[in-house]
Structure 1
Amino acid sequence: MTSEWTPSSADGDASNVALLQLTSYRRAEAVVIQAAGEVDVSTVDQLMEAVTVALATKPERVVLDLGAVRFVASCGLRELLRGHAAAVSDGIRFIVAATDGALRRSLEVTGLDHELETFDSVDAALAAN
C-alpha cells in the first residue's frame, strides 16, 4: 500500500500544503510515514492526522521517517510524544527514524530521546526487534 497524503485544511485553505509533504506505505507489519518539509503550528495537524490513520490500521509498528524534515517546532515535538502515547496504549511500537542533526539535538535537549524510540534509518527501525 502506497498512498500520497493530501492534507486537509479546516478552512479550505491549502496554502500550507507545500510546507509538509507526507507519504505513507505498508512494509511487512509496519506503516511507514515519510515526511518532508517543516513541522510547525501550520502543519502539525496534518502529520498527526497521518499518524492517526496509520494507527487505526493496527500495524505492529509505525515508523515516522523524518529524514527530509528541515524543521520541527516545539508543537511538533509535543505531538511526537502524543503519537507515541497513543501507539503504546494500543500495543503498537512508534518509532522515529532518520533523526540526525538539529532534530536529534532537539530530542536530546528536551529529553525526548529517552521517551521515544529512535533509529538512524527506516531500515534499522524495521529490522529492530
Structure 2
Amino acid sequence: MCQVEEISGQDLLACNQCGKCSAGCPVVAAMDLVPNHVIRMAQLGMEEVLESETIWICASCLTCATRCPKGVDLPRLMEALRQIALRQGVTELDLNALPEELVREVPQLAVVGGFRKYMR
C-alpha cells in the first residue's frame, strides 16, 4: 500500500483518525466504509480497501480535505486507491453499467466531483 502515498503524494500516517472527514462527508450515507476507515485500512496495508465501494462513491468535493486538521487530501488518496484497484484488476470501470435511475438521482456534487475523477 506504499503505492498510495507515492501516487497521491500524501502521508498516510499524518491522519490521526479524528473522524472530521467522515463527519463532514456529504455522501457518507452511501458508503460501505467511512472515509477515516479507508485511511486506516490503507495505513495498515489492508488490500481489502481496494474492493470498497467507498473509493468510487467519493465525490472528490474536498469537504474532507478542508476539514482535516492535519492537511490530508483524502480525495487524492481515494484517486490513488481507484488507480491501484484498476491497475491490479480488482475492479473494472464501466460507467455505462450504472442504472439510469441512479444516474438521474446522483447529487450534483457527485457529478462535479466526477470531473476530477474521470476527466484526466
Q: What TM-score does the superposition give when structure 1 sets the normalisation length? A: 0.38
More helix by share: 2
More strand by share: 1
Q: What TM-score does the superposition give when structure 2 sets the normalisation length? A: 0.40
